[in-house]
Amino acid sequence: MTNIAVFASGTGSNFDALAEAIDRKEVEAVISLVVSDKPSSKVVEKAKARGIEVLSFQPKDFGGKAGYEQVILGACREHDIEWIVLAGYMRLVGTTLLTPFEGRIINIHPSLLPAFPGKNAVGQAFKAGVRVTGVTVHLVDEGMDTGPILDQRAIRIEQGDTEEDVQRRIQQVEHVLYPEVVGRLVKGEAETHDKTGITERF
């Protein structure tokens, strides 16, 4: 069985969706570790309630990113982690983790990348006046939301929608799409895409 680490900073709704998909045997994996930079976050409570090992930390207690990522790396190796799943983890991943886990860290982002990377993607979409946005699952590289795309789903912005309306629909899509992509990855059935089509099969 594939060991997964979930990194999260907030409520952990995508953690819930993945854990429930695993419970239903839709994803052939085990969440062996949850990592959070917010020790008081809801996701920490949820992981502990499920009996999952948690590594939580305060970044300010370390000299820099490399310091806490070295601790995370040790925990990932201890738990034989094969894939890192970012689920609302609000920190850019540095080379301490990117190098040993190259091509094995994934993220979900609330836009159709490469449009609207970074924070407040829904707000960016509203400001730009677009009628379609969506959700992207991608591999993580050293940039901000720049890694190869694994899958995307489009969502229409309807007349009269608020940002909260769109965010709610995006989360509904995320909770289906993310477990689907993780399930394909652990089976070796995922593909990355660029503007020209398929670039690599996992």
Specify the pLDDT at position 189.
Answer: 74
Contact status, residue 144 vs residue 117, Cβ threshold 8 Å: yes
Per mean pLDDT, which range of 77-81, 97-101, 192-196 is the poorest? 192-196
3-26: average pLDDT: 96
Specify the pLDDT at position 190.
Answer: 66
**What amino acid positions are annotated as catalytic residues?**
109
In angstroms, the Cα distances linking 56 to 44, 77, 105, 138, 200 are: 8, 16, 19, 24, 34
Question: Which distant-in-sequence residues (6+ apart) come within 8 Å of 93 by Cβ?
Answer: 69, 84, 86, 105, 140
129-151: average pLDDT: 95
64-75: average pLDDT: 94
99-121: average pLDDT: 96
For the chain, the average pLDDT equals: 92
Domain 2-188 in CATH 3.40.50.170: yes
Name the residue among 64, 53, 56, 70 with its Cα closest to residue 3: 53
Instruction: Look at strands 197-201 and 191-194 and give their pairing.
Output: antiparallel
75-91: average pLDDT: 95
Specify the pLDDT at position 60.
Answer: 87
Name the residue among 41, 42, 46 with its Cα closest to residue 31: 46
**pLDDT bracket for residue 200 (50, 70, 90):** low
The neighbouring-strand residues paired with 127 are: none
93-120: average pLDDT: 96
105-110: average pLDDT: 97
Specify the pLDDT at position 30.
Answer: 97
Q: How many CB atoms lie within 10 A of CB 183?
A: 18
* CA dist., res. 152 & res. 134, Å (int): 7
Query: What torsion, rounded to 10 degrees, do the Cα atoms 27, 78, 138, 26 define?
Result: 0
Specify the pLDDT at position 198.
Answer: 44
